[in-house]
Amino acid sequence: METRKTILLVCKEALNNALKYADAAVINIYLSTIDKNIYFIVSDNGKGFDIEIADNGNGLGIMALRAKNCNGNLTVQSSAGNGTEIKVIMPIPHFR
């Protein structure tokens, strides 16, 4: 149940960020299971941002903490003018 909640909340935050800040024309959502893990990716073709100076407080930091609490990992790829990709990988609970 916690994994489902985490996926929902991370997706919600990633979509909110893309809609609010990215000025994206396209937002892609990818969800899959591979090798006993859940892969969840939200990407956009928006304006992107410099990860080195990004505020990890309420948005990215909370998403990373949620993933970590489910034994998962969150990575962010972004650069100015090149969009953003947020990827979460976490184990499927019943395979632990």
pLDDT band at 2 (very low <50, low <70, confident <90, very high): confident
Q: Which residue has the tokens 């080195």?
A: 52
Residue 58 confidence (pLDDT): 63
What's the CATH number where 8 sits? 3.30.565.10
pTM for the whole thing? 0.88
Residue 56 confidence (pLDDT): 61
More confident residue, 83 or 3: 83
Tell me: the pLDDT tens digits for 36-59? Answer: 999 999 999 999 998 888 766 568
Tell me: the pLDDT tens digits for 61-72? Answer: 899 999 999 999
Q: What share of the chain in percent tops pLDDT 90?
A: 62
What domain range is 49 assigned to? 2-95
Q: How many domains does the chain have?
A: 1
